[in-house]
């Protein structure tokens, strides 16, 4: 088990809209359901209107995906962030079992793996080593690569040595005292690491 890292300051930014990610996930799932329904109906007729093991498996995929979508929709109504990962994995399994569409299975599994890290609320963590951004993949900026860091009026601004500027609105209101503490801390780290 790896040790838990502690940071001096963690600045949580306002989350960006996850609507686009949800729409793409739902569109992928609807496409899978429609294709699986079509395949089920063709195989059902070919089997003489009998549900065999292959048709039954398709029904499990269809109802599994639909059930997960319904659960995610109810979570959304309660204000909980929905994750369609499990339904995307079921759809990926369905595509994998169809030998001609293994490449689609890979796309669905990649989407299932990436959905949660992409939806994580953006935050910057500050310690004596540098700044860590919890993106996917995680980005680290040592203090010697940073020119300036300022938290003012609810905005975090990070100016890197390569002229890249990162800016974002802070999620919660920050008191003047915490703002001053944070800015002083960053200023001290920057002065220590000047060449």
CATH number at residue 142: 2.30.29.30
Q: Does one domain contain both 132 and 114?
A: no
In 3D space, the residue among 79, 136, 97 whose CA is nearest the CA of residue 113 turns out to be 136
Q: Does one domain contain both 26 and 108?
A: yes
Judge whether 8 lies within some domain.
no
Torsion sign (Cα): 81, 118, 18, 150: positive
Judge whether 3 lies within some domain.
no
Spatial distance between the Cα atoms of 156 and 146, rounded to a whole number of angstroms? 14
- Banded pLDDT at 4 (limits 50, 70, 90): low
State residue 97's pLDDT score. 85
Judge whether 1 lies within some domain.
no
Judge whether 139 lies within some domain.
yes
Range with the lowest mean pLDDT among 3-17, 30-44, 103-117?
A: 3-17
The residue among 119, 147, 168 that closes a domain is 119
State residue 64's pLDDT score. 93
Q: Does one domain contain both 128 and 111?
A: no
Q: Does one domain contain both 106 and 127?
A: no
Instruction: Please state the pTM of the whole predicted model.
Output: 0.69
Average pLDDT over residues 35-59: 81
Q: Does one domain contain both 141 and 76?
A: no
State residue 131's pLDDT score. 87
The residue among 119, 138, 157 that closes a domain is 119
State residue 41's pLDDT score. 85
Q: Does one domain contain both 40 and 112?
A: yes
Spatial distance between the Cα atoms of 10 and 26, rounded to a whole number of angstroms? 33
Give the chain's domain count: 2
pLDDT tens string 58-113:
888 899 999 999 999 999 899 888 999 999 999 999 889 877 788 999 999 999 99
Spatial distance between the Cα atoms of 167 and 11, rounded to a whole number of angstroms? 12
pLDDT tens string 102-158:
899 999 999 999 888 888 778 888 888 888 888 767 788 888 888 888 888 888 888
CA 151 to chain centre: 25
Q: Does one domain contain both 188 and 145?
A: yes
- Asked if 193 contacts 148 with a C-beta cutoff of 8 angstroms, the reply is no
Residue ranges making up the domain that contains 35: 19-119
Spatial distance between the Cα atoms of 190 and 130, rounded to a whole number of angstroms? 9
The residue among 59, 91, 119 that closes a domain is 119
Q: Does one domain contain both 77 and 151?
A: no
Q: Does one domain contain both 104 and 127?
A: no
């Amino acid at each position: 088990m790896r040790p838990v890292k502690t940071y001096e300051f963690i600045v949580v930014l306002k989350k960006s809209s996850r609507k686009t990610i949800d729409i793409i996930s739902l569109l992928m799932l609807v496409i899978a359901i429609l294709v699986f329904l079509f395949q089920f109906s063709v195989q059902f007729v070919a089997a003489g209107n009998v549900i065999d093991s292959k048709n039954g498996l398709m029904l499990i995929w269809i109802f599994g995906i639909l059930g997960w979508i319904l659960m995610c929709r109810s979570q959304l109504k309660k204000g909980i962030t929905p994750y369609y990962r499990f339904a995307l994995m079921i759809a990926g399994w369905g595509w994998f079992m169809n030998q001609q569409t293994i490449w689609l299975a890979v796309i669905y599994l990649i989407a299932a793996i990436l959905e949660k890290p992409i939806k994580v609320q953006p935050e910057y963590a500050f310690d004596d080593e540098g700044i860590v951004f919890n993106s996917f993949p995680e980005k680290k900026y040592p203090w010697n690569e940073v020119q300036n860091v300022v938290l003012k009026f609810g905005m975090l601004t990070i100016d890197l040595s390569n002229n890249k500027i990162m800016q974002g609105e802070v999620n919660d209101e920050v008191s003047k005292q915490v703002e001053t503490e944070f800015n002083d801390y960053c200023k001290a780290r920057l002065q220590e690491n000047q060449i």
